[in-house]
Amino acid sequence: MELPERLAWLKSGRFLRTISALTAVAILAAVLYNAIAVDRLPPTYSIKVNSTATTGQAMTLTSIEVDFSEDVLHDTAQKAFSITPTVAGSFHWQGRKLIFTPSDKLPVSTTFKVREAAGVQDPSGNTQGGATEISFTTVGPPTVVSVSPATNADLVNVGSTITITFDRQMDTQKVAKGLTIDPAVGYQVSWNGPVLTIRPDKPLAYGTTYTIKIGDPAVDTDGTRLAAFVSVFKTAGIGLQVTDLVPAPNVAGVSVRSQVAVIFDSPIDPNSIAGSIKLTPPVSGSINAVSLRDDRTPPAVPTPTAGGSGTNVLLFTPDNPLAAHTTYSVSVSSTVKRTDGQVAPAQAWSFTTGEPTTSALNQIAFLSDRDGISNVWLMNPDGSNQRELTTELVPVSGFDISGDGTTIAYSAGGVVKKMSIGGDGEQTLTPSNDFEYGPVFTPDGLGIVVGRRDGTGNDLGYWRYPLATGTDIKQLTPDGAPGIGSVSLRGEGLTGSIGVPSWAGRVAFSADATSMLVVRGSDNIVELVDTTGANPPIMFNLTANSRPVFDVNEGVFFVTASEDKGETWWYWRVTLDGKVTKMGPAASDLAAAGTSTDSLALIVKSADGAYHLAYAASPNTLARSITSDPAWSEMSPSFSPDGSEIVFGRAIATDATISAGIWTIGISGNNLVNLATDGAYPRWIP
């Protein structure tokens, strides 16, 4: 068919060449876009065991991490994960890292194979086609490798000390509890790594057979029991007052980054302190006269102040961290004088260090003043290997640990600090002359929210510190921060009232951190805050008596509060858009399991007048009490990672300022276990 004469140019060679060139350019652009803009690379990953011994074998309390190169679909990664022999456990995510935490301690001397199979997908649909495997073997039970005097030795000198060498680091406190000497003698114990030394208080008796036994509850630092050990041998005999010693005498598990402090009842003369403190084994360091931080009255003093009037603390600061699992003897000479010339008596005591940890996952953190001052401690889920994390000389009033278990933030004397869980990289966040309290990590671990007051005590509300950049500090609310005065806390910080102190964490975040429920420290009013600033805060007619929690399964907040000024107390459901629902009776602290269930742990007031722990399988079911002893009041529940157990603190029912220790119990109300005889405000990590 012939084209009309006016369209004949369509048949021209020039037009056809132009069309061909444009078509080629379009095809090339499509190819380049497809090659550059479309993600076609599957994710890669690495697998590692979180906790290993010096031998390279895995500890029986450990977790397994799978670190992906990019965001992946969580369900595909979890389905591809396996461990042989099969181990029950739970998953949680920290960014691109999948963390598997076994529900129970792994068996000793057992080889496991961990596999991440094919099928892991990224959000673009790219699927990992290969599989990766690693194998690891757990350590065996601890043993004694040597003893002196030797077993069945005769003619032993009555002035001898007894040394027992183990094949690994031991839980010094549990070994001490399992140690007996017959006939009974007074003695002191010290440690140098795995070597236990027993020094009798006076010479042994002549011609006497002594039996040394170490049995239950002796365990290694991972909680693995020592088989009963027995060995037998036969022999052939002021004015300036100290108010506190830090670390306290005979305490075990002290942080290797601890300072040594003698706190006097009066100011001391800085000119009298040179060479007054010595440690054995020898430790180099500096000695200063300092005053402690005090946030009871402005202005703030963010760091110890050297020399001058009012300095009543003799402080020894080691040049380097102390040795782990080592007993140090401290001697303080009688040369230290009060400012009026009165001399202090000489002092001598000893303490034993613990060991730094790299992760707090599946561990229980709590506050304890066993070291002389309330600090954060960490222990295994069975109560073994209790060791100190923070080393402050004024009470730690609030703390939080990041979801991956590697970083701790805490407040002491109105100053917020953060550091690695092992004590490295300590950083003071609080600006000079401000007071800050109650640090809480954001869900991604990249930010910390604190309550702030200025140096004159004016309320500045809540602020967010971004940890990745260290800049762009953001004010989230104009008011609501706790009042000053945290150094007035005594013991483990128990106030005698139910609920947490006002200086502890009082914030919960939604999963994406765009919403924040706050129990205001100034008046305990519940407030919902949009952290993006897009919507104004919502303040509810609720006075709270607990820290709020966020239920990741329902996507809502829960908090214990009163709508009638304390006449009645309930726990309430708060949605992200501000809808509030009364759920059921509660008295103070509550916790959400955070697992595949919606279970809650609640503190309720019972007919006996004490406060007891209750469990609800879901927010819509009636909570049932799982503790009932009228001698105790319970507080601060926290679920285990798999949701099957609850850790909680106890106080004497008739005097809630006195701790009755840290306990665990199964959600069915069985298997009640006392983990520590002191301590408060426990938290099971994560």
In a domain, 88, yes or no: yes
DSSP letter at 678 equals S
Q: Is residue 169 part of a domain?
A: yes
The C-alpha atoms of residue 411 and residue 390 are separated, in whole angstroms, by 10
Domain boundary among 320, 353, 386: 353
Pairing of strands 229-235, 435-441: unpaired
* 95 located within any domain: yes
185 and 325 fall within a common domain: no
Do 606 and 660 belong together in one domain? yes
- H or E element, residue 68: strand 64-68
- What pLDDT, on a 0 to 100 scale, did the predictor assign at position 237? 42
Tokens of 374: 């309330």
Q: Is 631 helix (H, G, I), strand (E, B) or coil?
A: coil
Residues 330 and 456 in one domain: no
> Which of the listed residues 331, 353, 375 is the one where a domain comes to its end?
353
Domain match, 167 and 310 both = no
One domain, residues 385 and 519: yes
Predicted TM-score (pTM) of this structure: 0.75
637 and 591, same structural domain?
A: yes
Per residue in 161-200, pLDDT tens?
Answer: 999 999 888 999 999 999 999 999 999 999 999 999 999 9
- Does 20 map to a domain? no
Do 600 and 650 fall into the same domain? yes
> What is the DSSP pairing of strand 427-428 with strand 624-625?
unpaired
Residue ranges of the chain with pLDDT lower than 70? 1-39, 54, 236-238, 298-310, 470-471, 596
How many domains does the chain fold into? 4
pLDDT digits (tens, 9 = 90+) for 506-544: 999 999 999 999 999 889 999 999 999 899 999 999 999
- 149 and 94 belong to one structural domain: no
Structural domain harbouring 168: 144-235
18 belongs to a structural domain? no
What CATH number should be reported for the domain holding residue 200? Answer: 2.60.40.3710
Verify that 403 and 534 share a domain, yes or no.
yes
Asked if residue 13 is part of any domain, the answer here is: no
3-state secondary structure of 369: coil
| CATH number of the domain where residue 127 is located | 2.60.40.1220
Q: Of 681, 639, 466, whose CA–CA distance to 553 is shortest?
A: 639
Q: Which residues pair with 674 in a beta bridge?
A: 663
Q: Which amino acid is at 642?
A: D
Among 235, 254, 276, where does a domain finish? 235
Looking at the structure, tell me whether residues 627 and 577 fall in a common domain: yes
Q: Are 342 and 440 in the same domain?
A: no
Q: Please check whether residues 536 and 420 belong to one and the same domain.
A: yes
**What CATH number does residue 638 fall under?**
2.120.10.30
pLDDT the model gives residue 13: 60
